[in-house]
Amino acid sequence: MSADYLAALPAATQEEIKQAAKIIAEGGLVAFPTETVYGLGANALDAYAVSGIYIAKGRPSDNPIIVHVSSVPMAEFVGEVNWMARYLMEKFWPGPLSLVIPSNPVVPETTRGGLATVGVRMPDNPIALALIETADTPIAAPSANKSGRPSPTDAETVRRDLGKNVDMVLDGGPTLVGLESTVLDVTGEHPVLLRPGGVSKEEIEKTLDMEVLLASDANSLKRSPGTRYRHYAPKVPLVLLGKEQHAFFCNSINKKWAWMGISEPPCVPEQKIIFRNLEEYARELFRAMRALESSGVEMIVAETPEEKGLGFALKDRLIRASGV
């Protein structure tokens, strides 16, 4: 039994999705919105189509791609869903949680980056779900940016970043979460958090009544290839600033700098972006980085977020962007 996601959308959107689904079926690439960031999609079961994603992004071929599904049965088609995975799917899908499970042979090695596992997620976005359903195939999709650039949170940024490398861009407006999904490995005895995101470690622990290990504790770096690469790098240096460093920073700064954060800057910058709360900081982070890096400043100074709720994932992305 599947929901009719397509029928719920306006007629013009339905037409676009049908066209996009046809491109997917023919082995092409379609960028589409999810609730987290825009994805660059291809038929997950077609190795040739998926290799197009690696080429368009300039992505290392050993970095596996998340497979997007529109239902739990579709997830069962691509991989082995154990009790832990099923519990989490029931609680958090559709939503920003990708689960790494043992792969079924239908998924080509190209999609899995040569691993025996596959990452699956059901996105919480009506266009994404209608596209998967209409294409009638799971869709492999990394974030729709050039490798190493911030993830795109609107269609215009996708067009600018990937241009002719993508056959079609479905425009669903700005994304709601702004940070990529949580990636959780549920193949072992204990779940392992490979990437913090929209669903927090605490929420997962509460649902499973079980401790979630961090990738660093579990020595599972090898199982999370994406974490080996520098990510989300703006074109100018980005530094994180905590309150205790304010005085030192303001006394020693001799560059044109921009501030982003929830609080006002500790001294006067060239540019500033102030967010209303943690959720807005997360949602607007990548857009703010792109805006500030091309505003003529020599450095971006980001307020260190409080590590609660989305703050954990936000700090993770800021640390990666700072390249430390």
Residue 71: count other Cβ atoms within 10 Å of its Cβ: 18
Out of 84, 115, 241, 314, name the contact with ligand TXA by CB under 6 A: 115
| Nearest residue (CB) to Mg ion, 143 versus 182 | 143
**Residue 24 contacts ligand TXA per CB under 6 A:** no
Token output for 69 = 């599904």
Taking the complex as a whole, the smallest distance from the CB of residue 85 to Mg ion amounts, in Å, to 22
**Residue 34 contacts ligand TXA per CB under 6 A:** yes
Residue of 68, 63, 56 lying closest to 29 (CA atoms) = 56
Task: Return all residues near 209 (Cβ < 8 A) that are at least 6 apart.
Answer: none
Q: Determine the residue with CB nearest Mg ion.
A: 143
**Residue 213 contacts ligand TXA per CB under 6 A:** no
Q: Which DSSP string do the residues of 40-67 spell out, in sequence order?
A: EEEETT-HHHHHHHHHHHT--TTS--PE
| Nearest residue (CB) to ligand TXA, 180 versus 303 | 180
**Residue 183 contacts ligand TXA per CB under 6 A:** yes
The alpha carbon of 43 is separated from its chain's Cα centroid by a whole number of angstroms, namely 18
Q: Which does 304 bind (CB under 5 to 8 A by kind): ligand TXA, Mg ion, none?
A: none
**Which amino acid, 311?**
G
**Residue 223 contacts ligand TXA per CB under 6 A:** yes
Out of 70, 98, 134, 137, name the contact with ligand TXA by CB under 6 A: 98
User: Which segment (113-121, 243-251, 291-299, 304-312) binds ligand TXA by CB under 6 A?
Assistant: 113-121
Taking the complex as a whole, the smallest distance from the CB of residue 129 to ligand TXA amounts, in Å, to 12
Match 């779900």 to its residue by tokens.
129
User: Which segment (20-28, 117-125, 271-279, 297-305) binds ligand TXA by CB under 6 A?
Assistant: 117-125
Residue of 44, 43, 56, 282 lying closest to 153 (CA atoms) = 282
**Residue 64 contacts ligand TXA per CB under 6 A:** yes
Strands 182-185, 97-102: parallel, antiparallel or unpaired by DSSP?
Answer: parallel
Sequence length of the chain is: 324
Out of 143, 182, 224, 304, name the contact with Mg ion by CB under 5 A: 143
Three-class SS of 94-155: CCCEEEEEEECCCCCHHHHCCCCEEEEECCCCHHHHHHHHHHCCCEECCECCCCCCCCCCCH
Q: Which does 65 bind (CB under 5 to 8 A by kind): ligand TXA, Mg ion, none?
A: ligand TXA
Q: Which of residues 65-94 bind ligand TXA (CB under 6 A)?
A: 65-66
Please report, for the chain, how many H helices and E strands are present, in that order: 11, 14
Site residues, Mg ion (CB under 5 A)? 143
Site residues, ligand TXA (CB under 6 A)? 34, 36-37, 39, 63-66, 96, 98, 100, 112, 115, 117-119, 123, 141-143, 180-181, 183, 194-195, 223-227
